[in-house]
Amino acid sequence: MYPESCILHPACPGEASCEAGYLASHTPHHIKYIDMSEPYDPVRRFNDRAKVYDSEVGTIIPGYTALHEAAHHVLKSSLPENAYLLICGAGTGNDAMTFARENPGWKITGFDIAGEMVKTARAKIKAAGLESRIEIIHGGIEDVLQESFDGAASILVTHFIPYGKKAAYLNDISLRLKPGAKYLTADITGARDSGEFNEHLLAWESFQLSFREDKEEILKTIGRVREDLPILTEDETILMLEDSDFKNVRLFWKYLMINGYVAEKRG
């Protein structure tokens, strides 16, 4: 159990020792206690930030644009020209619109549980004239009635899903895919108590501070990842995918604590 005075650093001996000298030796990375007693609600979080999400996300998630570009090209190089694609956690519609523009034969169904994100996505899709090829559903995977998708992408979604619901989420995606369909997933991944994971979190803090001045919000975000976010280790991720009827699971992306995997639906 880490002392309350430091939510990131396992080596920190506590507030009293920090005031005696430990704090000075660890500036700027020492993080004093921040009250996070209120449960994290991703739906409220994304609803609140729907209007600024597109302008902010690149300053929060390291490698965000490159990750989505990599995911697009992995799918583009392997799916048919008339592919039917499922986007899980469609957000403000950026992936759906990029995929549709770059692949004129594709049709796309996406879903998102945050209503304000869905409103933003639908407005952008309508303005771009892509309504006939992109459908965005307000709801979860259980609200997607379509099936026989050629591929699916779930980028920065599964790490928000509670541990006890992750298997059902993956199985529900798998059930909607054709045999041999491509599946991409990317999430914060790692062992919380490992030196590597903590090193990545410190680098993530540095990345965000190079763009943003709201340090308290940055520290809250990192603290939630460190303490609360239901993340999986690399081995747990692969095992859960295999248990959900996916095969040939391999890494296609790695940037700090974010891992991206690609696999195929068995059959």
Residue 134 belongs to a domain: yes
Structural domains in the chain (count): 2
Q: Find the mean pLDDT for residues 77-95.
A: 97
Nearest Cα neighbor of 10 from 234, 235, 202, 207 is: 202
Q: At what angle do helices 215-227 and 195-209 cross, to 10 degrees?
A: 160
* Residues 179 and 107 grouped into a single domain: yes
Q: What is the pLDDT of residues 234-254, one digit of tens each?
A: 999 999 999 999 999 999 999
Answer yes or no: is pLDDT of 13 > 90: no
Task: Tell me which DSSP letter residue 8 carries.
Answer: S
Answer yes or no: is pLDDT of 65 > 60: yes
Answer yes or no: is pLDDT of 146 > 80: yes
Domain membership of residue 12 as a residue range? 1-33
Residue 117 belongs to a domain: yes
* Residues 15 and 67 grouped into a single domain: no
Per-residue confidence at 38, pLDDT binned at 50, 70, 90? Answer: low
* Residues 49 and 4 grouped into a single domain: no
Q: Which pLDDT belongs to residue 27?
A: 35
Q: Find the mean pLDDT for residues 192-205.
A: 96
* Residues 188 and 57 grouped into a single domain: yes
Per-residue confidence at 54, pLDDT binned at 50, 70, 90? Answer: confident
Q: Which pLDDT belongs to residue 39?
A: 62
Residue 199 belongs to a domain: no
* Residues 1 and 23 grouped into a single domain: yes
Residue 212 belongs to a domain: no
* Residues 124 and 60 grouped into a single domain: yes
The total of other beta-carbon atoms located within 10 Å of residue 160's CB is 20
* Residues 95 and 130 grouped into a single domain: yes
Residue 215 belongs to a domain: no
Q: Find the mean pLDDT for residues 176-189.
A: 98
Nearest-angstrom CA–CA distance, 68 and 184? 11
Residue 214 belongs to a domain: no
Which CATH number do you get for residue 141? 3.40.50.150
* Residues 100 and 186 grouped into a single domain: yes
* Residues 66 and 176 grouped into a single domain: yes
* Residues 93 and 145 grouped into a single domain: yes
